[in-house]
């Protein structure tokens, strides 16, 4: 579980309205500076993906990956990861795929 200080709770709309976004095969990533000394993260998996237990399983994997690499991520950003709704093989998503793609997006955004 992510520490409470690193969870994005309310500012999803502000981050979505920002112009900073990066995409890859599996995810979309929205990010915006937050003016604090820590980064916060949010995870979105739309209902189109499957049943609630499966969506929650994917979000737990996202959180675990971010928790592992949080020390390498630049501070002072709000970051939202959204599972790409156009990707068709959600069941085939493995932990390694999630980790590699999250790192790739953070590198593209120069946040890693």
81, 62 in Cβ contact below 8 A?
yes
CATH number (domain holding residue 67): 3.30.230.10
pLDDT digits (tens, 9 = 90+) for 4-61: 999 999 889 999 998 899 988 888 999 999 999 999 999 999 888 888 998 898 899 9
Helix ranges restricted to H, 1-112 = 12-17, 52-69, 95-108
Q: What is the pTM of this model?
A: 0.91
Structural domain of 55: 4-108
Average pLDDT (73-102) is 86
Q: Rounded to whole angstroms, how far apart are CA atoms 28 and 35?
A: 22
- The total number of structural domains that make up the chain: 1
DSSP conformational letter for 82: E
Give the HSE-up count for residue 17: Cα atoms under 13 Å, Cβ half-sphere. Answer: 4
pLDDT digits (tens, 9 = 90+) for 91-109: 777 889 889 999 999 999 9
The pLDDT of residue 74 is above 80: yes
């Amino acid at each position: 579980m992510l520490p409470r200080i690193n969870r994005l709770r309310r500012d999803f709309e502000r981050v979505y309205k920002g112009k900073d976004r990066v995409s890859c095969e599996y995810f979309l990533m929205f990010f915006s500076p937050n003016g604090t000394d820590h980064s916060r993260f949010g995870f979105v998996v739309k209902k189109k993906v499957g049943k609630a237990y499966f969506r929650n399983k994917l979000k737990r994997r996202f959180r675990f990956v971010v928790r592992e690499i949080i020390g390498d991520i630049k501070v002072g950003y709000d970051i939202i990861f959204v599972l790409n709704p156009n990707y068709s093989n959600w069941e085939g998503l493995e932990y390694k795929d999630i980790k590699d793609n999250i790192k790739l997006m953070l590198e593209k955004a120069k946040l890693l």
